[in-house]
Amino acid sequence: MEQTQISTQMRVQGEAAKKAAKRVATASTEEKNKALSLIADELETRETFILEANAKDLEAGRKNGLSSALLDRLTLDSGRIAGMADGCRQIASLEDPIGETIESWTRPNGLKLESVRVPLGVIGMIYEARPNVTADAAALALKTGNGVLLRGSSSAFRSNQAVMDAIWEALAKTSLPKEAVQLASDTSREAAATMFQMNDYLDVLIPRGGANLIKTVVDQSTVPVLETGVGNCHIFIDDSAVADKAVQIAINAKTQRPSVCNAAETLLVHEAWLEAHGEALVHALLAHGVTIRGDASVQKLHGDVEPAADEDWNTEYLDMIVSMKTVKSTEEAIEHINMFTTYHSEAILTESEENKRMFFQQIDAAALYHNASTRFTDGFEFGFGAEIGVSTQKLHARGPMGLKAITSYKYLIHGDGQIK
Ligand SMILES: NC(=O)C1=CN([C@@H]2O[C@H](COP(=O)(O)OP(=O)(O)OC[C@H]3O[C@@H](n4cnc5c(N)ncnc54)[C@H](OP(=O)(O)O)[C@@H]3O)[C@@H](O)[C@H]2O)C=CC1
Ligand SMILES: N[C@@H](CCC(=O)OP(=O)(O)O)C(=O)O
């Protein structure tokens, strides 16, 4: 397709989303919740159909040499489809943020002011090859009275289309316009780039993916951007950390789903803890199939530990690989994290209140953990039903972005004839 045709097609979809979003913005909570519950049902009803489409994407992905991390992200199964449906139901069960009075006060002149939560309008989203994001983003957008124009990865197109078919089928049974949720029908990078300039139709653009995507969108978009980010997540095991608990957390954060952005990539270990329990940790990691790249002290613990190079501290493996570094103190761990953090999720495992306080105070990241796995940086786990992305910037939202993150507010001023 010619560039002008691509732009026209994207604009047609953007315009349709904008028109439909106006209706969704005024929908009642009952209308929106009914739609979400029907979407959940339809996703489950169409499981076979969605899995067939997904199998075709996976087959093409394997032929195109997608990495194991990307293939894992792309993979759907019954459990993951059930997770998508659960997310929709959880979002339906959450309080409707739209119309909520955030604050109210009265001025000395008798003017009554209130700030009231409103939708953003239409959200444009460019995202990775994870088909569950299609359902998550649609559900969050609908509940917040927003329209959404979704541009998923070309390698997930069949799966995304199958999920969209379920969403459209469900919306057709409701009073809400199905056009409020759009999946870009063109999967080219040119079509994605058109979204950067669609200020007439998009109120915000959310790039969800790797550093290159984020940089391209931030540099080139005239539509306001809500950034997500990569996750070079650390776990610091302090000298007072309880051994069993620390080993279990490290194993979970590294191996439970290594392909996602909240998986741990570097373990920083206090030298005293390493001496006492390092062998147990290294054995457990190796037994789970993790490749360890460690400094000299870690290498001494087992012949299979590979030497870590400088670039390891900066690497988001998204794979069964972890880097391990010995530190002398909490201060040294904080210094290392502050040098290599991607502002996503960082954890300290310690029994010391003072070291926890220092860690929480001196590290700047979207989510800081004490004695828990970084894998919890997730909208469902935070109780938001799902997330539209994990923001690693501070404006206008941070961490897993649920319902409130995709709203704005307006002031309503109630007067009684006041003049200035
Ligand atoms: N913080 C968070 O919320 C999240 C962070 N991530 C991070 O994302 C990374 C993995 O995702 P990955 O699959 O590599 O994602 P990519 O960044 O490669 O791709 C994501 C999406 O952006 C598109 N895209 C990529 N570059 C451009 C460009 N220059 N112009 C237009 N569109 C573009 C891709 O299209 P196509 O595939 O069709 O080429 C795809 O749809 C990891 O680093 C992970 O940590 C991932 C998700 C969430
Ligand atoms: N929702 C995620 C966390 C954030 C995320 O979207 O990660 P990614 O797989 O990098 O897209 C999860 O833990 O499943």
- So what's the pLDDT on residue 333? 98
Token pair for residue 378? 């997730």
Q: Best of 158, 213, 314, 393 to mutate for ligand 1, by most ligand atoms within 8 A of CB?
A: 213
Q: Does a structural domain hold residue 392?
A: no
Q: Best of 57, 126, 187, 233 to mutate for ligand 1, by most ligand atoms within 8 A of CB?
A: 126
Alpha carbon distances (Å) from 250 to 133, 196, 247, 258 = 26, 39, 5, 12
* Atom in ligand 1 nearest the alpha carbon of residue 207: 22
Which pLDDT tens digit goes with each residue over 192-231? Answer: 999 999 999 999 999 999 999 999 999 999 999 999 999 9
Give 358: exposed, middle or buried? Use CB within 10 Å, 0-12, 13-18, 19+. middle
CA 150 – ligand 2 centroid, Å: 17
Q: CATH number of the domain at 145, please.
A: 3.40.605.10
Q: Are 220 and 239 part of one and the same domain?
A: no
Q: Does a structural domain hold residue 382?
A: no
Count of structural domains, the chain: 2
Q: Which domain holds residue 35?
A: 3-226+401-414
Q: CA-to-CA distance for 122 and 201, rounded, in angstroms?
A: 7
Tokens 């029907």 locate to 38
Residue 390 φ/ψ, nearest 5 degrees: -110, 110
Reported pTM: 0.95
Task: Tell which residue, 138, 372, 391, has the closest CA to residue 261.
Answer: 391
Alpha carbon distances (Å) from 73 to 54, 77, 133 = 11, 11, 10
Mean pLDDT confidence for 384-393: 95
Which pLDDT tens digit goes with each residue over 283-298? Answer: 999 999 999 999 999 9
| Pocket of ligand 1 contains residue 176 by CB under 6 Å | no
- Do 126 and 209 contact (CB within 8 A), yes or no? yes
What is the ipTM, given to two decimal places? 0.91
Bridge partners, residue 113, by sequence: 105, 413
- Do 152 and 133 contact (CB within 8 A), yes or no? yes
- Do 288 and 353 contact (CB within 8 A), yes or no? no
The DSSP code sequence of 260-314 is STTSEEEEEEEHHHHHHHHHHHHHHHHHTT-EEEE-HHHHTT-TTPEEPPGGGGG
- So what's the pLDDT on residue 5? 84
Q: Does a structural domain hold residue 381?
A: no
Token pair for residue 376? 């919890």
Q: Are 350 and 284 part of one and the same domain?
A: yes
Q: CA-to-CA distance for 43 and 416, rounded, in angstroms?
A: 51
| Pocket of ligand 1 contains residue 393 by CB under 6 Å | no
* Atom in ligand 2 nearest the alpha carbon of residue 380: 1
Q: Does a structural domain hold residue 27?
A: yes
- Stated as kind and residue range, the H or E segment containing 413 is strand 407-414
Q: Are 42 and 113 part of one and the same domain?
A: yes
| Pocket of ligand 1 contains residue 208 by CB under 6 Å | yes
Q: Are 173 and 298 part of one and the same domain?
A: no
Ligand nearest the Cα of residue 209 is: 1
Q: Does a structural domain hold residue 388?
A: no
Token pair for residue 121? 């309008």
Q: CA-to-CA distance for 88 and 172, rounded, in angstroms?
A: 17
**Ligand 1 atom 37: the closest Cα is on which residue?**
153
Count helices and strands (H / E) in the chain. Answer: 14, 16
- So what's the pLDDT on residue 3? 75
- So what's the pLDDT on residue 6? 81
Q: Best of 225, 261, 262, 341 to mutate for ligand 1, by most ligand atoms within 8 A of CB?
A: 261
Bridge partners, residue 127, by sequence: 208
Tokens 């000298």 locate to 239
Q: Are 244 and 218 part of one and the same domain?
A: no
Number of C-beta neighbours around residue 330 at 10 A: 22
Which pLDDT tens digit goes with each residue over 86-95? Answer: 999 999 999 9
Which pLDDT tens digit goes with each residue over 11-60? Answer: 999 999 999 999 999 999 999 999 999 999 999 999 999 999 999 999 99
Q: Are 281 and 133 part of one and the same domain?
A: no
Give 197: exposed, middle or buried? Use CB within 10 Å, 0-12, 13-18, 19+. middle
What residue type is 137 in one-letter code?
A
| Pocket of ligand 1 contains residue 221 by CB under 6 Å | no
Q: Best of 70, 125, 128 to mutate for ligand 1, by most ligand atoms within 8 A of CB?
A: 128
**DSSP category for residue 253:** H
Q: Are 245 and 151 part of one and the same domain?
A: no
- So what's the pLDDT on residue 111? 98
Q: Does a structural domain hold residue 298?
A: yes
Q: CA-to-CA distance for 271 and 144, rounded, in angstroms?
A: 49
| Non-local CB neighbours of 195 within 8 Å, separated by 6+ positions | 10, 14, 124, 126, 149, 151, 184, 202, 205, 221, 223
Bridge partners, residue 391, by sequence: 399
Could you give the residue ranges of the DSSP H alpha helices within 110-156? Answer: 132-143
Tokens 């200020």 locate to 199
| Pocket of ligand 1 contains residue 400 by CB under 6 Å | no
- So what's the pLDDT on residue 194? 96
Q: CA-to-CA distance for 13 and 288, rounded, in angstroms?
A: 46
Indicate if the pLDDT at residue 364 is higher than 80.
yes
Q: CATH number of the domain at 277, please.
A: 3.40.309.10
| Pocket of ligand 2 contains residue 186 by CB under 6 Å | no
Q: Are 217 and 196 part of one and the same domain?
A: yes
Rounded-to-10 torsion of CA 88, 92, 93, 97 = 120
User: With bands split at pLDDT 50, 70 and 90, how would you rate the model's confidence at 343?
Assistant: very high
Bridge partners, residue 114, by sequence: 104, 412
Q: Are 51 and 120 part of one and the same domain?
A: yes
